[in-house]
Amino acid sequence: MSSLFTDTSHPNRKWLVLAIVAMTQLVVVLDGTIVAISLPHAQAELHLSDVQRQWVVTAYALAFGSLLLLGGRIADFWGRKRTYIVGLAGFGIASAYGGLIHSGAELIIARGLQGVFAALMAPAALAILTITFPMGRERNTAFAIFGTTAGMGAAIGFILGGILTEYASWRWCLLVNVPIVVVAIFAAALLLTESKAQGDTKLDIISAVTVTAGLGALVYGFTLAEHGWNQLSVLLYLAGAVVLLTVFVVRQATYAHPLLPLRILNRTRSGAFLLQMIAGATMIGAMLYLTFHMQIVLQFTPLQAGLGMIVQTVAISSTVPFATKLLPKFGPRPYLIIGPIIASVGIFYLSFVTVGGSYWTQIMPALIIAGIGMALLFVPVQNIALLGVDPHDAGAASATGNASNQIGGSIGLAVFTTIYVEASAGSHLPADLVEGYHAVFRASAVVVLFGAVIAFLMIRGSKADLMPGITVKEMH
């Protein structure tokens, strides 16, 4: 075993690297949902308003997603190993702070800090993986494992959050990250080798500010829309978001050292990023309301609600091996079309839940169907998003994929909350709550189904072009 840590040419060393980055990616993704299952308990202890409760989830996803582009460039230029370890350390400290706070405002701040350091850690991890597995069947396997780990992270977060809340405290949903981070830092220091992008090392701070402010204004505008779309504040925030994001895009096209080189965004890769955004909206936004239905309407305990979500995790993990094995035969494009269609059927099935309904007939079948569909999406989408990317842009490209997922989650949560409030008319009666959940699930099903349209129109190229194990041609 010691030779694995000392011999950089050891054939099994790369799989330990995969284990490390996959473990930390799991932590980053599940942290978006692990707190969600414990929100009723945290709200009661800290006296959070309903708006503050939502921002406990949104602050993490928004900070994470909006800063990932900057984090990706820092990883490229400052060094991927160094950035990864700093991100791990900061994430652990923010998690410890969040587990020890005494007010709702402090909890939201801690969650935002977690997102900031996750924005350093996640793109560095994916860039390390891209360099460790540059091509071939090993790359296919590595990305399938990594993508599936990330895909299951949201569901695992619900389960683990339920267990920790029921048997310890909601605070352990944050504190649990600390020992994982300590182990990961130790292993990363021994196993990883430093790598950097070649060439100019300037960072586009102005672009980082405009994209962060633009995305923040967008999500906050959607949040304010809970009380009506015709409010002046909503219109101002959304208009400001459009202006800031337009400035960002124009700067990327004209600045010599852009934060997001637009050459990354060819049609196929852009389609993959949009699919990741849709997956984030579904796994972070819509699934949160399913846990609310189970806890508030069906009166499940946090543990029962968490265990109720394990069916989706099992469906995903059971589907992935078969999907990975058949991927070389069919190629990724059919997966990316069929997967969202199947997932949308499962989510739409949830729109038939009732106040006195059974988990076994109204929820479990939906989670199985949705899990199968999402697994088909998770297996190839991460690989497609990075296929053909120049090593100089590896961090930026991986950051764009992760940002798409998190921003999709934060926007999805804001939009679905607005839909829920309008459909439930602000009532807390079980029948009215269920009407709100119905609206959320129907909207989510439409969004996921749109993913199939995106894949059909944007994921182009032959099977050989889209399979790095066969060829690594640049896509057109």
Q: Are 134 and 206 in contact (CB under 8 A)?
A: no
φ/ψ (deg, to 5) at 160 = -65, -40
CA-to-CA distance for 110 and 236, rounded, in angstroms? 28
Do 122 and 238 lie in a common domain?
no
Among the candidates 225, 258, 291, a domain finishes at: 258
CA-to-CA distance for 288 and 193, rounded, in angstroms? 39
* Count: domains in the chain: 2
Do 311 and 385 lie in a common domain?
yes
Residue 454 lies in a domain: yes
Cα distances from 161 to residues 121, 173, 402, in angstroms, run: 22, 6, 22
Do 172 and 253 lie in a common domain?
no
Cα distances from 237 to residues 150, 232, 243, 265, 285, in angstroms, run: 31, 9, 10, 27, 21
pLDDT of residue 10: 60
Helices and strands, counts by H and E, the chain: 21, 0
**Angle formed by the axes of helices 205-224 and 232-254, nearest 10°:** 160
Do 89 and 16 lie in a common domain?
yes
CA-to-CA distance for 464 and 459, rounded, in angstroms? 13
Residue 78 lies in a domain: yes
Do 233 and 92 lie in a common domain?
no
pLDDT of residue 475: 35
Which positions ≥6 away from 199 have C-beta within 8 Å?
392
pLDDT in tens, 260-319: 888 888 888 999 999 999 998 988 778 888 988 998 899 999 999 988 988 988 898 899
pLDDT in tens, 3-62: 555 555 566 778 888 888 888 888 887 887 788 888 888 988 998 876 677 788 888 988
Residue 475 lies in a domain: no
Do 243 and 268 lie in a common domain?
no
Residue 162 lies in a domain: yes
- The CATH number of the domain holding residue 8 is 1.20.1250.20
pLDDT of residue 339: 96
pLDDT of residue 214: 92
Runs of H (alpha helix) within 135-204: 137-167, 172-175, 177-191
Do 34 and 118 lie in a common domain?
yes
CA-to-CA distance for 401 and 355, rounded, in angstroms? 38
**Angle formed by the axes of helices 332-349 and 430-458, nearest 10°:** 170
| C-alpha triplet 405, 409, 415: angle, nearest 5° | 140
Do 195 and 216 lie in a common domain?
no
Do 93 and 105 lie in a common domain?
yes
Ordered DSSP codes for 251-270 = HHHH-SS-SS-GGG--HHHH
Full pLDDT tens readout for the chain, 476 residues = 555 555 555 667 788 888 888 888 888 878 877 888 888 889 889 988 766 777 888 889 888 888 888 887 788 888 889 999 999 999 999 999 999 998 999 999 999 999 999 989 988 888 888 888 877 777 778 878 887 776 667 678 878 888 999 999 999 999 999 999 999 999 888 888 888 776 656 778 888 889 889 988 998 888 788 777 788 889 999 999 999 999 999 999 998 878 888 888 888 899 999 999 999 898 877 888 898 899 889 999 999 998 898 898 889 889 988 898 888 888 889 999 999 999 999 999 999 999 989 999 999 999 999 999 999 998 888 788 877 777 777 667 777 887 888 889 888 888 888 888 889 887 889 999 999 999 999 999 999 999 999 999 998 766 665 665 543 333 33
Do 69 and 190 lie in a common domain?
yes
CA-to-CA distance for 217 and 464, rounded, in angstroms? 41
Among the listed residues 404, 411, 108, 123, the one whose alpha carbon sits nearest the alpha carbon of residue 241 = 411
Do 212 and 333 lie in a common domain?
no
Cα distances from 424 to residues 106, 331, 428, 439, in angstroms, run: 30, 43, 8, 9
Do 28 and 111 lie in a common domain?
yes
pTM higher than 0.75, yes or no? yes
pLDDT of residue 476: 35
Which positions ≥6 away from 358 have C-beta within 8 Å?
none
Cα distances from 392 to residues 197, 253, 429, in angstroms, run: 5, 17, 55
Q: Are 355 and 297 in contact (CB under 8 A)?
A: yes
Residue 473 lies in a domain: no
pLDDT of residue 472: 34
pLDDT of residue 471: 37
Distance of CA 240 to the CA centre of its chain: 25
Q: Are 214 and 244 in contact (CB under 8 A)?
A: yes
Give the range of the structural domain holding residue 243, as residue numbers without chain letter: 204-258
Q: Are 445 and 347 in contact (CB under 8 A)?
A: yes
Residue 474 lies in a domain: no
Ordered DSSP codes for 207-218 = HHHHHHHHHHHH
Residue 339 lies in a domain: yes
| CB burial readout 283-302, b (16+ within 10 A) else e | bbbbbbbbbbbbbbbbebeb
pLDDT of residue 379: 86
Residue 476 lies in a domain: no
